Amino acid sequence: MAKKIVVIPGDGIGEEITNSAVAVMKRVAERFSLDLEYEYKDAGGTAYDKFGVPLPEDTLNACKSADGILFGAVGGDKWDNVEPALRPEKAILGLRKGLGLYANLRPVKVADSLTEYSPLKPELVKGVDLVIVRELVGGIYFGEKCESEQHNGAERAWDLENYSVPEVQRIARLAFETAKLRRGVVTSVDKANVLATSRLWRRTVAQVAKEYPEVELKNLYVDNTAMQLAVRPAQFDVILTGNLFGDILSDEAAVIGGSIGMMPSASIGELTSLYEPIHGSAPDIAGKGIANPVGTILSAAMLFRYSLKEEQAAVAIEQAVDKALNQGWRTADLWHEGLKKADTDTMTQAVIDCI
Ligand code: IPM
Ligand code: MN
């Protein structure tokens, strides 16, 4: 039976980059005789314009029965003044919550051909191979909030951060399992010197660590982690952290590789999982056909690995991306004199030709 892939292009460059990734998936499916079917659904500002909501019921329902979901990007200045509950970002937050996508994996591995793009010195970047495991359906993102109220004669707003023991246990186990298959070190990141949620986080992670004697656990405060990522990023194997800290640290970690356009992610749930590049919808270049499709193509590789359990297909995509880069192909965000300039379609074809 065919496996169902739901494709959600979203806004801005979303359509171009998901088209690229689907073209690569089709090539890989052909090469490994996999039977995949694709169902396209709306979300984000595009869905808001069509249906008045960023996440139509029909999109969420299709995702519930998907074997894997490929997501482009949402958002754009066009919807900046839409009321908070209907903003395009609510589409991805709603999918995470509605599908129980509790774990976000953001690997950062810097290809040798790309060390020159890093804002850090090449000798610091060499050998960086880490993965951020970010809790994705809890914490301050989903706590109670108040947009505006009067308090002691002044207007104020607030967002509540809370974490329960089972929520922390679930994400911690996934981080330890991930570390077992890698170099065996989990760095749990929190702000336990100030926050109660962080203190619960730290003692829960310490309990879970006892189930994994083969994995080493380190604890680091989030401010120190931000600094360590800039001064010695190669020290990290698995970084385990909550929703808000994970959001911030993963942008920082992503840029170590030089371009956020290259970075994939997987959002893992118990029933289905969603794959998306970590960059945004880049409205300034949307429709021009020049966006870097690599982050989305590598996200498709993660879909083959984690949702379809097709490791060979995943590796084939990752190796093809490396090869195309080694052949000198670069989209405009990474191009300089001496390299081959590719638009979105050319870059995609270069990857396909290497599969
Ligand atoms: C991300 C994004 C989202 C987040 C936004 C679009 C809601 O920044 O996936 O990292 O904050 O989680
Ligand atoms: Mn983010």
121 shares a domain with 89: no
Rg (CA), the chain: 20
Instruction: Give residue 253's domain range.
Output: 107-258
CA–centroid distance, 27 to ligand 2, in Å, is 30
197 shares a domain with 133: yes
243 shares a domain with 143: yes
Residue 289 pLDDT: 97
Q: Which of 89, 101, 268 to mutate to test the pocket of ligand 1 (most atoms within 8 A of CB)?
A: 89
Atom 5 in ligand 1: residue holding the nearest Cα: 89
What is the tens place of the pLDDT at every residue in 117-134? 899 999 999 999 999 999
Q: Which ligand is nearest to the CA of 276?
A: 1
291 shares a domain with 253: no
Q: Where are the beta strands (DSSP E) in 91-152?
A: 103-109, 129-135, 145-151
Query: Annotated catalytic residue: which of 26, 78, 191, 323?
Result: 191
Query: Annotated catalytic residue: which of 141, 163, 212, 306?
Result: 141
Cα–Cα distance, 138 to 143 (Å, whole number): 7
Q: How far is CA 253 from CA 84, 123, 188, 222, 263, in A?
A: 28, 16, 15, 13, 10
Residue 260 pLDDT: 82
Cα–Cα distance, 314 to 16 (Å, whole number): 21
State percent of the chain over pLDDT 90: 93
Atom 7 in ligand 1: residue holding the nearest Cα: 89
Ligand 1 atom closest to residue 265's alpha carbon, by position in its atom list: 9
Query: Is there a catalytic annotation at residue 223?
Result: yes
Ligand 1 pocket at CB < 6 A: 89, 92-93, 247
- For the entire predicted model, the pTM comes to 0.94
Q: Which of 231, 258, 285 is the last residue of a domain?
A: 258
Judge whether residue 239 has pLDDT over 90.
Answer: yes
Q: Is residue 264 part of a domain?
A: no
Judge whether residue 3 has pLDDT over 90.
Answer: yes
What is the tens place of the pLDDT at every residue in 155-198? 999 999 999 999 999 999 999 999 999 999 999 999 999 999 99
343: left (phi over 0), alpha (psi -120 to 50) or beta: beta
Q: Is residue 48 part of a domain?
A: yes
305 shares a domain with 208: no
Judge whether residue 258 has pLDDT over 80.
Answer: no
291 shares a domain with 221: no
Atom 10 in ligand 1: residue holding the nearest Cα: 247
Q: Is residue 68 part of a domain?
A: yes
Atom 8 in ligand 1: residue holding the nearest Cα: 247
CA–centroid distance, 278 to ligand 2, in Å, is 7
